[in-house]
Structure 1
């Protein structure tokens, strides 16, 4: 536990300070969080994915084990969320909200910068593989859960494969596999854009949290948040040995499994009119209290 002050100061505080910056300046400067988030989503994220993965060397078998690990952990959290909601006899909508909150970790906004500070720049490529794996799973599960009461549509689930981050994945892997080096006139703009992703996402997260307001604490909020923040790291530590991951991939995977709920979950809930106030409040609460749970995970690592 003697490491805790250093972890707070050197790993978590820089991340939360940028979120706080967005929280304070967003309303005062009238920052358009939606515009900034769309800029990050459609431009910065695919640039980041291409730039990082086109240069990261990860053996195919190892990548498969990493994807299997993060998928097993998040599926486990989803099952726990569903069973808890059913045992509590929650409505179909509230059950779907529990599942969405458990399915989508904040592996981008929080995961990437925390892992960069904790494990170094070399860990970003590994963290991006986990980020993309959770993105695919979470979008499919969240879209399915949000439309649970109205019938599931394969067309809606297929939307995930048209997201900008995933569209950048095939060319990145192709350039990596063929060991193709793009000229500086192409790579340097991509490097600048990818470098802007993390600070932009953190400031946008702060502005989005400011717009959401102070969450109203209730039993469902506490239970859903606890499932996301506790089941993730517990399942990760319990199952990581099954996948024979090297130390770096192990640590990064456990951290990505321990992230609070992604802000995108509240957007999906709003778009589908699925208890948006509850989901947004839970997203805000889980991100705020994750400073404690993430510090514990970092100490254990």
Structure 2
């Protein structure tokens, strides 16, 4: 009980405290969520990815096993979501919503700070590898599912690889592989911008949740949330042994597999007019519920 309380206070409360600040002050200060989101998406995230990965030393074989593990877990939850929706005889639109909710974990907003607090600053580089792997898979699956009735297009794949965070990946790998030292005049602004990402993302998440309002509970909301919040960690714990990951990479991978649904899923749903009210409500519910489920996962780790 003491260990659970310590995890709750020292790992989860600091994260949810910043989300709560955004939830309270966002509407009162009339913060422009779109502007802050675009700042985080187009500037802070690629800078963070470059800054962290250019300095993180991970063997190629280990990185491959990490990517294989997180991909297997999220593909497993996607398949589980699809099967559950079909067994429940849900419509194609609701089935696509189940898949999207399962596919995209909140590995950025929640995953990065919780990993940092739980495993230490050295875990950020590891968490970023998992974050990028899920980002690629999730964008492909979510955009494809949202547009399924209109057919698949290669433009979907092209849009994925134009994601700013992924564009920062090649130069980061090059600097890392060549072991170049970034000049101080460049490194210091990058450090400052990189450090701003996590607090800005958490404040934005709180503001977005405030704008969404209190979700209306339904059976589909509860079931699809359970697939993401329970299916993810169960598959992760069941399969992590197959990949022979060191302890740090194992713990971070399981944490990233246990995250609630990303807010970006609701944005994709709105852009494609795929049950946006239901998906937004589910995103809000799963993120609120995660303070309990993540505490349990952290205790098991």
TM-score range, shorter chain: over 0.9
Q: Does 1:173 align with 2:206?
A: no
Q: Tell me what 2:19 maps to.
A: 19
Distance 1:191 1:201 in 2: 16
Q: Tell me what 2:249 maps to.
A: 249
Per mean C-alpha deviation after superposition, the further-off stretch among 166-175 and 147-156 is: 147-156
Check the 8 A contact 1:80/1:227 in 2, yes or no. yes
Q: Tell me what 2:266 maps to.
A: 266
Q: Can you give the 5+ residue segments of structure 1 that lack an aligned partner in the other structure?
A: none
Q: Tell me what 1:228 maps to.
A: 228
Distance 2:107 2:214 in 1: 23
Per mean C-alpha deviation after superposition, the further-off stretch among 146-155 and 87-96 is: 146-155
Q: How does 1:177-256 map to 2 (within 5 A)?
A: 177-256=177-256
Check the 8 A contact 1:143/1:157 in 2, yes or no. no
Distance 2:87 2:157 in 1: 27
Q: Tell me what 1:157 maps to.
A: 157
Deviation string 1:124-158 (CA, Å, 9 cap, x unpaired) is: 00000000000000000001100111211121222
Deviation string 1:153-183 (CA, Å, 9 cap, x unpaired) is: 1212221100100000000000000001111
Distance 1:119 1:33 in 2: 30
- CA offset at residue 66 of structure 1? 0.0
What SS is found at the alignment partner of 1:107?
A: coil
Q: Tell me what 1:125 maps to.
A: 125
Q: Tell me what 1:9 maps to.
A: 9
Q: TM-score, normalised by structure 1?
A: 0.99
Distance 2:274 2:249 in 1: 35
Q: TM-score, normalised by structure 2?
A: 0.99
Q: Tell me what 1:78 maps to.
A: 78
